[in-house]
Chains A and B, each alone.
Chain A
C-alpha cells in the first residue's frame, strides 16, 4: 500500500509539471490550430537559460523568471519569423508540422552547440530531504513545485476569465475570423499567447530538470509526446481539460512505473497516447470542434 501512495505522490508532482506544459501547448494550439514539434526544445531552452542565470549566483526564482521571459521571447520570435509567414500563405497543416521539425533541430542543436551535450545540474538547488506529508512521502522542493504550478495555473485562470485579454484570447481560440471582425487584434493576441505559453513552458522545464536531477539537450524532446498525450486526453482548446489530462497521464505513468519497471515509464505514457488517439482522438472531454 505504501508503495502505491508513494507512486501517487510522485505522480502528483509529475502531473503538476506536465500540467504547466500541457496548458501551454493547449493555449498555443487553441489560437494557432497546429502543433509545434519544437515545443519540447522550448522547454529545454527555458531550463537552460534558468540554469545559466542561477549558476551565475543569482536568486533561483529570478533565474526561473528570466528563463520564462527568454522562452516567451523565443516563442514570439518563432511565431513572427517562421510560423506566421506560413500561416499567412495558408499552407497545409503538414507544412507547419515540418517547419516545427526544422525549428526543433535548430533549437535543440543550438542548445547543444552553446552549452554542450553533457548533462548539467542546478548547483545549490536541492529539493530537500523527503518527509511524510499525509499519506505521501515528498520533498519540500516537490511541494514547492506543485504549489507554484497550482498558483501559476490559478493566475492563468484569472487572466483567462476575468480580463479583457483573456476574453479576446478565448474569442480568437474559438473563431479567428469572427474575433478579427469584432475588432480584436488577433495577431497581437497570438503573439502574447506564444509569450505566455513560453513562460509556463520554462517553469515546466526547470521543474522537469529538477525532478530528474538532470539537464540535457533532449530533456524536453523526450517529454514532448507525453505532453501531447495529456493535451489530447483533455481535449484540444480546453486548458482545464489539459490539467485533467496531465493529472491522469502523470498518475498512470508513475503508478505503472512503480509496479512494472521504471525503464518502461515513458513507453507506458506513449502507449496511453497511442490508445487514446486510436480510440478517442477527440479527447475524453469533447472539445468545441477543435482538431489539430
Chain B
C-alpha cells in the first residue's frame, strides 16, 4: 500500500515536471510544441548512457557508456535536450506560424524517433537501453525504498522548476512572453524581437523536459523507442490544457491528475484487466476530458492568474497624481 502511494507520487512528480516544462513554452509564450516528449526521451537516453557504463549483455551497443554520478547525468540530460531544442527552434519556431509549427514539431520528432529506432550504435535501436543502476549506487535497496528516494529527488526538482516558472511568470520577461502570446505584432511594434524572447523560454522548457526524462529513466531503469511514441506528446499537451495552461499550479495539477490519476483510476475499474484496454481507456478519458474542458472551461481547471500590476502602492500614487483631486 505504501509502495503504491510512493510509486504514484513519484511518477506524478515526474509527469508534473514534464507538464511544467511544456507550460513555460506553451502556457507562457504560446509556442505550440507538440513534440515535448521527444526532449523527455532524449533526456532519458542521455542520462542513461552517461551514467550506466558500457553494455554488459552481448549484442547490445550504446555510447558513450560513461559512469558519471547521477546528478551530472541529469544536468547533461537537460543540456543535450536544450541543445537539440536550440537547433529545432532556430530552424522551425523562429520561422513558422503556430499551426504549421504543430505539424513540423510532430514531423521532426518522428524523424528523430525513426533514426534512433533503426540505428543501434548510439542508443541500441529498437531494443533500447536497460539496466540503469539505482541513483543510490546500492543495488540492495528494495523497490519500495528506492521509489521513496526518487520521490524525494523528484519533489525537490519539481519544486525548483515551479519556482523558476514563477520567477519567469512574474518578471518583465514573462510579461513580454505573454505579450507575444497574445499579439505578436503589437509586441514587435514595441521593439521586442519575438523569436529572441521565445528562444530562451523554449530552451528552459527543453532543459526541464530533459531533466524530467532523466529522472524517469533513473526510476524505471530502462528506456526504448516504444516508450515515447508520438502520442505521449499529445497526452502531455492535453494534461496542460486540462490543468490550466499559463498557470504553473495548473500544470502540476495536470501532471498529477490527468497523466497519473486517470491511469490509476482506470487500473481499478474491474472490467479492464487487459492492460492494453486499460491504456486505451485512459487516453479515451483524456480525450473526452480535453474536449469537455475546452468547451465549458477553456482556461483549464486552475486558470492563469492575472497579475495586478496596479497594486496598492501604485493605486496610492495614482490617487495622489489624479488631476482635480486636491491633496
A residues near B (Cβ < 8 Å) are 34-35, 82, 85-86, 91, 93-95, 97-99, 101-106, 108-110, 112-113, 116-117, 221, 225, 228, 261, 263-264, 266-267, 270-271, 273-274, 277-278, 281, 291-292
Identify A110's interface contact among B104, B284, B290, CB under 8 A.
Answer: B284
CB of B321 within 8 Å of the partner chain? no
Whether the pair B287, A105 counts as a contact (CB closer than 8 A) is yes
CB of B310 within 8 Å of the partner chain? no
Binds A, one of B93-101, B185-193, B207-215: B93-101
The residues of A that contact B92 with a CB separation of less than 8 Å are: 274, 278
Whether the pair B288, A102 counts as a contact (CB closer than 8 A) is yes
Interchain residue pairs with CB less than 8 A apart (24): A82-B291, A85-B295, A91-B298, A97-B99, A98-B238, A102-B289, A102-B290, A103-B287, A106-B287, A108-B283, A110-B284, A112-B280, A113-B280, A117-B280, A225-B106, A225-B110, A261-B118, A266-B110, A267-B110, A270-B110, A278-B92, A278-B95, A278-B104, A281-B100
Q: How many contacts A-B (CB < 8 Å)?
A: 119
CB of B80 within 8 Å of the partner chain? no
CB of B241 within 8 Å of the partner chain? yes
CB of B5 within 8 Å of the partner chain? no
The residues of A that contact B277 with a CB separation of less than 8 Å are: 112-113
Majority SS at the chain B contact face: helix
Whether the pair A271, B111 counts as a contact (CB closer than 8 A) is yes
Q: In the complex, what's the smallest C-beta–C-beta distance from B140 to chain A, in angstroms? A: 38
Which B residue sits closest to A107, measured CB to CB?
Answer: B287
Task: Compute how far the CA of A225 lies from the CA of B105 in the bound complex, rounded to whole angstroms.
Answer: 11
The residues of B that contact A102 with a CB separation of less than 8 Å are: 238, 286-291, 294
The residues of B that contact A116 with a CB separation of less than 8 Å are: 276
Whether the pair B107, A270 counts as a contact (CB closer than 8 A) is yes
A sample of 5 more A-B contacts (CB under 8 A), given A102-B238, A277-B100, is A82-B291, A102-B289, A105-B284, A267-B111, A278-B96
Task: Compute how far the CA of A220 lies from the CA of B34 in the bound complex, rounded to whole angstroms.
Answer: 18
Whether the pair A98, B290 counts as a contact (CB closer than 8 A) is yes
Whether the pair B103, A109 counts as a contact (CB closer than 8 A) is no
Task: Compute how far the CA of A264 lies from the CA of B118 in the bound complex, rounded to whole angstroms.
Answer: 9
Q: In the complex, what's the smallest C-beta–C-beta distance from A219 to chain B, in angstroms? A: 14
Task: Compute how far the CA of A217 lies from the CA of B298 in the bound complex, rounded to whole angstroms.
Answer: 29
Task: Compute how far the CA of A274 lies from the CA of B95 in the bound complex, rounded to whole angstroms.
Answer: 12
Task: Compute how far the CA of A270 lies from the CA of B234 in the bound complex, rounded to whole angstroms.
Answer: 18
Assess A273 versus B237: contact at CB under 8 Å? Given A85-B295, A95-B298.
Answer: no
Majority SS at the chain A contact face: helix
Whether the pair A225, B237 counts as a contact (CB closer than 8 A) is no
How does the 8 Å CB contact mask read for B265-288 relative to A, with 1 for contact and 0 for none? 000000000001100110110111
Q: In the complex, what's the smallest C-beta–C-beta distance from A19 to chain B, in angstroms? A: 19
Assess A277 versus B103: contact at CB under 8 Å? Given A102-B238, A112-B277.
Answer: yes
The residues of A that contact B107 with a CB separation of less than 8 Å are: 225, 270-271, 273-274
Whether the pair A101, B298 counts as a contact (CB closer than 8 A) is no
CB of B114 within 8 Å of the partner chain? yes
Q: In the complex, what's the smallest C-beta–C-beta distance from B112 to chain A, in angstroms? A: 9
Identify A105's interface contact among B91, B115, B238, CB under 8 A.
Answer: B238
Assess A266 versus B114: contact at CB under 8 Å? Given A85-B295, A91-B298, A109-B283.
Answer: yes
Whether the pair B295, A86 counts as a contact (CB closer than 8 A) is yes
Task: Compute how far the CA of A273 lies from the CA of B102 in the bound complex, rounded to whole angstroms.
Answer: 12
The residues of B that contact A34 with a CB separation of less than 8 Å are: 99
Identify A225's interface contact among B103, B287, B291, CB under 8 A.
Answer: B103
Task: Compute how far the CA of A292 lies from the CA of B99 in the bound complex, rounded to whole angstroms.
Answer: 7
CB of B171 within 8 Å of the partner chain? no
Identify B103's interface contact among A101, A104, A228, A266, CB under 8 A.
Answer: A228
Identify A101's interface contact among B95, B238, B295, CB under 8 A.
Answer: B238
Interface residues in B30-49 (C-beta closer than 8 Å to A): 32, 34
Task: Compute how far the CA of A117 lies from the CA of B102 in the bound complex, rounded to whole angstroms.
Answer: 27
The residues of B that contact A93 with a CB separation of less than 8 Å are: 99
Q: In the complex, what's the smallest C-beta–C-beta distance from B8 to chain A, in angstroms? A: 22
CB of B108 within 8 Å of the partner chain? yes
Whether the pair B281, A109 counts as a contact (CB closer than 8 A) is yes
